[in-house]
Amino acid sequence: MIQIIPAIDIIDGKCVRLTQGDYNQKKEYHSNPVEVAKMFEDAGIERLHLVDLDGAKQKKIVNYKVLENISGATKLSIDFGGGLQSDEDLQIAFNSGAKQITAGSIAVKDPNKVQHWLMQFGKEKIILGADTKAGMIAVHGWQETSDLSIQQLMNQFIPYGISYSICTDVAKDGLLQGPSFDLYKKLGDEFSQINWIASGGVAEFADIEKLNDMGIYGVIVGKAFYEGKITLQQLAQFNA
């Protein structure tokens, strides 16, 4: 059964969503992320994807207090990402209650560091953020595109035991036009040892059902929920 992972994206301590990673296309949904997290937990959801968008821009952890507050108020298993660049950032994230962290830009800029994290913290703690723009990896809140393909990125970490990867097709993100099913099928076939988490484009409950039928490990649900396209009750079906 696919893992349902709602997303809370944070700017200035508030719950927001961007479109295609564009900070100029920001919409605020809730001023209190803890209340949103409690709502997910009350519906029987067990996981949360928490993104520090301020951190992604500043290239260091910023909104760790929000992480601390959510982990203190709920039993949600939280993966935390956005701007994590240093050992100190990781320690702050784990000390603030993150069960896992997502290594995105740093995996491109300094793969040795993320390889070290995999050995230091273990493969259960580290998720590789593999966000693609036209097949190439996007970094720093998707403001830049690297010269690495997703396959090249994965191959840098497979020998170190990477087991989890969140893959976002930036072209799909926030548009409510459906996920990149072909991309996830291809990645699932090429890297069957990875627990793939689909992100971006989920528009309706049928999208989640299709990803589940494909055998995808997890799906991140953001805008579709906040815009009322998918209900909490529907999401909770997968956690029943």
Question: Would you name the residues annotated as active-site residues?
Answer: 9, 131
- How far is the C-alpha of 167 from the C-alpha of 165, rounded, in Å? 6
Q: Which amino acid appears at position 35 of this protein?
A: E
- How far is the C-alpha of 97 from the C-alpha of 49, rounded, in Å? 13
What proportions of the chain, in percent to the nearest 5, are helix, strand and coil?
Answer: 40, 30, 30
CB-CB neighbours of 208 under 10 Å: 24
Name which of 19, 25, 50 is nearest 171 in CA terms: 19
> Which DSSP letter does residue 194 get?
S
